[in-house]
Amino acid sequence: MDILDLIRGAQGGGAVQQLGQQFGLDDRQVSAALSALVPALAAGAQRNASDAQGLEGLIGALTGGQHQRYVDDPAALAQADTVADGNGILGHLLGGKDVSRQLAGQAAAQTGIGEGVLKAMLPVVAAMMMGAMSKRIGQPAALGADAGTGGGLLGMLTPALDSNRDGSMVDDVAGLVSRLLSGR
């Protein structure tokens, strides 16, 4: 299951319904917005994970934050701190407000949804993506043997995670998680 499917399926579609209510969109429009925004955000996460520091930061944020609440409790999406958290996530994933604006503009052209709505929605979607990734990384299969074959969250980031280029990222991720948990 990819990250977009995880977001769409969160709480039986409750997160998608919350987005629709929050931004005045129907389910089809929310689905189109997510399809336009999430791949760019996922690419930003993959780009950040392409170096050891970025990867450590991403895994640290996923394992140490409270991001799961964004997919476990759809009502959390309407809270002001979600937008603040989402803007911080956007800064890490996309680098700056200009890129966020450009993404919203491209998504508006692709979906027909107003650019202003998509700009407002973008931090909430970023928070949801981190929530889905956090939830996925908390599952045993996410860091297990099938992770390198796309079975877990880290499968999405496989090329960046096999730092020693031995064909397996399991040893690299296990070492990284061990360092993060030990505080080194």
What residues does each domain of the chain span?
3-140
- Confidence class of residue 1 from pLDDT cuts 50, 70 and 90? low
Digit-coded pLDDT (tens) for 81-139: 999 999 999 998 888 888 899 999 999 999 999 999 999 999 999 999 998 888 877 66
Is the separation of the CB atoms in 81 and 69 below 8 Å?
no
Other C-beta atoms lying within 10 Å of the C-beta of residue 12 = 9
pLDDT given at position 162? 47
Q: Which two tokens stand for residue 60?
A: 């640290």
3-state secondary structure of 112: coil
pLDDT given at position 92? 86
Amino acid letter for position 44: G
Other C-beta atoms lying within 10 Å of the C-beta of residue 105 = 13
Instruction: Give dist(CA 40, CA 19) in Å, integer.
Output: 19
**Cα 135 versus chain centre, distance:** 10
The residue ranking higher by pLDDT, 3 or 146, is: 3
Digit-coded pLDDT (tens) for 129-180: 998 888 877 665 444 444 433 444 445 444 334 445 565 545 654 554 454 4
For the chain, how many helices (H) and strands (E)? 10, 0
Is the separation of the CB atoms in 111 and 34 below 8 Å?
no
Digit-coded pLDDT (tens) for 23-81: 999 999 999 999 999 888 888 888 877 777 877 887 788 777 788 888 888 889 999 99
Q: Indicate the pTM of the whole model.
A: 0.76
Other C-beta atoms lying within 10 Å of the C-beta of residue 56 = 15
Q: List Cα–Cα distances, 76 to 15, 124, 139, in angstroms.
A: 9, 10, 22
Is the separation of the CB atoms in 49 and 159 below 8 Å?
no
